Amino acid sequence: MNVATLDLLREALPYIQRFKGTTFVVKFSGKVTEDKSILISLAEELALLHQVGIRVCVIHGGGKQLTELAQKLGVVQTVIEGRRVTDDDTLELAKMIFRGKINTEILSALRNRGVSAVGLSGLDGGVIKAEKRPPRDVLNKETGEKARVDFGHVGNIVEVDTRLINLLLENDFMPVVSSLGADDEGKIYNINADSIASQIAMSLRAEKLILLSDVNGIYLDAKDPASKIDRLTVFEAKKMISSGRATGGMIPKLENLINLVESGVGSAHVIGGGSRNGILAEVFTNEGTGTMIVS
């Protein structure tokens, strides 16, 4: 083992001591899990967090695989303002892909690294209570006219019950939760995985919520890699929004992260899902890799 590696272990030690016994919520998209080598690398990183005594809850989506399966089967997909309209056929595919294929593949990769992981959806133990997203008026940018859109079986989160998740965490299991939920009548809904991760992190009062994204953090200018923001306080993030420095899709991202930290989550992180050791570098080194928002 070379000196540089030993120095990294020394650097990691105070973080390991600080975070032992705390809870991390880690969310990644189906796109991240699609590449076998990335999934194996992620499983190793999660296993290491688990081994040093950090309680980890994983949340995942699967939009990319759902779209691909729909194309193969000829199920037409409609996406409006980044939100998928989930008709009857699409919901059937979502159940197969989210709770079946992707969840099982994540569990397999974690099993390979010696982690006792348990696959769930928001239906298990009533973790996610949802209601149908009401129809809304959406502006057609081409025609300039508004049209009423019914998103079908898309749900909004009403309530989160983390008793089952806590039971698993307390007994050294790693919960892996797919992005489905149900109402009191048992009607199943497709729910945004970021929303589930946020609500679970708040309910668990997690030390960290780590969002693995397609981009390696939040950028002032999406086209300029040098404009990445490494660290922000809630005050600074709010100032970016009010001053107009934050624009476009950056605003809802920042608002979501601000809400998380103000609701009791220790810190919120956005890091690149495809970068090897991204989670470990963000948690156990001084520099980190993505964007961190703290109180």
204-248 confidence digits (pLDDT tens): 999 999 999 888 888 887 788 888 888 999 999 999 889 988 877
Considering the domain 15-213+267-285, what is its CATH architecture? 3-Layer(aba) Sandwich (3.40)
Q: Radius of gyration of the chain from Cα atoms?
A: 19
**Which residues make Cβ contacts (< 8 Å) with residue 84, sequence separation at least 6?**
63, 66, 77, 78, 90, 151, 154, 190
- For residues 257-268, give the mean pLDDT: 92
Sorted by where each begins, the domain ranges of the chain are: 15-213+267-285
Judge whether 280 and 222 are in contact, CB under 8 Å. Answer: no
pLDDT of 83 strictly over 90: no
CA distance linking residue 55 with residue 168, whole number of Å: 10
Q: Tell me how far CA of residue 46 lies from CA of 57, 152, 155, in angstroms.
A: 10, 35, 29
Model confidence at 96, pLDDT cuts 50, 70, 90, reads very high
Query: Tens digits of per-residue pLDDT, 163-202?
Result: 999 999 999 999 999 999 999 999 999 999 999 999 999 9
In terms of Cβ atoms closer than 10 Å to its own Cβ (0-12, 13-18, 19+), residue 153 is buried
Cα–Cα distance for residue pair 80/288, rounded to 1 Å: 35
- Whole-number Cα distances in Å, 196 to 65, 168, 200, 211: 19, 18, 6, 12
| Residue 151, pLDDT above cutoff 80 | yes
- pTM for the whole structure: 0.92
